[in-house]
Amino acid sequence: MFEDNNIKVEDNILINQALKGNKSALENLIKKHQNWIYNIALAMVSDNNDAADITQEVLIKFITKLGTFKNESNFRTWLYRIVKNHFLNMKRGKYETKPISFDEFGEELDTLPNESLSNYAYEIDNKILVEEAKISCMKGMLLCLDREQRIIFIIGELFEFTDAIGSEIMEISKENFRVKLHRAKKQLYDFMDNKCGLINKNNPCRCARKTAGFIKKGFVDPINLHFQKEKITTIGKMANIKVSAYENKVIKDYQQLFQNHPFVQSPDSLKSIKKLLSSKSIMETFDLN
């Protein structure tokens, strides 16, 4: 996603036009990157409402800082550095009020009763509910990583940014980025290999058995889907990720589980953009026409 020169040219044209007061260009620049920011936020906080709020907050920062972009680096690298800084410093979301360890997360899964969805009557197909529970559980696992680990995992493993790009975004050395990514992957995948039954079939935890419990706990809403609503495609396909050559197939299998998560539309995107651009501060900043 970072190597396409056409994308770079398109971004630069829109930036130059926006800085000259072209409202349409600024609107198109926002639309072009809004879904990416929203999906990274969704992976970061595991709540669609919080992710939508974060996206708007980041967009305001990106718009007001746009004049400082000097074209010395890739625009998306510059933008995701703003995203990173916002994530690391923002207030705790609804699922971050009490940090949870992998051990605590595993204990919660163990205490959640195994139930058959056939005991209940939901309007949504059971397969969709089970998929929602699976995604919800995996997003919950990400919350066991600290914020820095989470953002490094998201950009380095989900979207497969190179260590050169990842280190520039995180403002650390390439070696440090690789070390931190390795540690995050090891913690997460070791937990899954010891607890989750998606890849390791010897593990007793199964999404279908836990879905009813996830619904009762409020982690899955059978009326309003949390992660599959407005699905565009998958993260892997949207990021145009190429299959990596892993010596350890198990690691690749777990990576693909996360990359197969839905890449979804940011809610009310056009309405939000127009409202954002009509604000007094933005109008004055860009002298929009």
Q: Provide DSSP, 6-59.
A: HHHHHHHHHHHHHHTT-HHHHHHHHHHHHHHHHHHHHHHHS-HHHHHHHHHHHH
Q: Is the pLDDT of residue 289 over 60?
A: no
Q: What is the model's pLDDT at position 255?
A: 92
The stretch 170-199 carries a mean pLDDT of 96
- Give the confidence band of 8 by pLDDT, cuts at 50, 70, 90: confident
- Give the confidence band of 269 by pLDDT, cuts at 50, 70, 90: low
- Give the confidence band of 280 by pLDDT, cuts at 50, 70, 90: confident
Alpha-carbon span 96 to 112, nearest angstrom:
20
Alpha-carbon span 56 to 274, nearest angstrom:
12
Q: What is the model's pLDDT at position 209?
A: 93
Q: Is the pLDDT of residue 256 over 60?
A: yes
Q: What is the model's pLDDT at position 270?
A: 64
Q: Is the dihedral of CA 34, 232, 221, 149 positive or negative?
A: negative
Q: Is the pLDDT of residue 288 over 80?
A: no
- Looking at the chain, the number of H-run helices and the number of E-run strands are 14, 2
The mean-pLDDT minimum among 22-26, 251-255, 267-271 falls in 267-271
| Amino acid in the structure at residue 197 | G
Architecture of domain 5-286: Up-down Bundle (1.20)
Q: Is the pLDDT of residue 159 over 70?
A: yes
Q: What is the pLDDT of residues 31-88, one digit of tens each?
A: 899 999 999 999 999 988 899 989 989 998 988 899 888 876 789 899 999 999 999 9
- Give the confidence band of 244 by pLDDT, cuts at 50, 70, 90: low
Q: What is the model's pLDDT at position 225?
A: 87
Which has more confidence, 64 or 281? 64
Q: What is the pLDDT of residues 99-121, one digit of tens each?
A: 789 999 999 999 999 999 888 88
Residue with tokens 């949870």: 100
Short-list 155, 136, 137, CA closest to 147: 155
The overall average pLDDT reported for the chain is 87
Q: Is the pLDDT of residue 276 over 60?
A: yes
Burial status of residue 91 (CB atoms within 10 A of its CB: 0-12, 13-18, 19 or more): exposed
Both tokens assigned to 67: 């004049």
Delimit the domains of the chain by residue range: 5-286
pTM for this prediction: 0.88
Q: What is the model's pLDDT at position 95?
A: 67
Q: What is the model's pLDDT at position 267?
A: 83
- Give the confidence band of 155 by pLDDT, cuts at 50, 70, 90: very high
Alpha-carbon span 29 to 18, nearest angstrom:
8
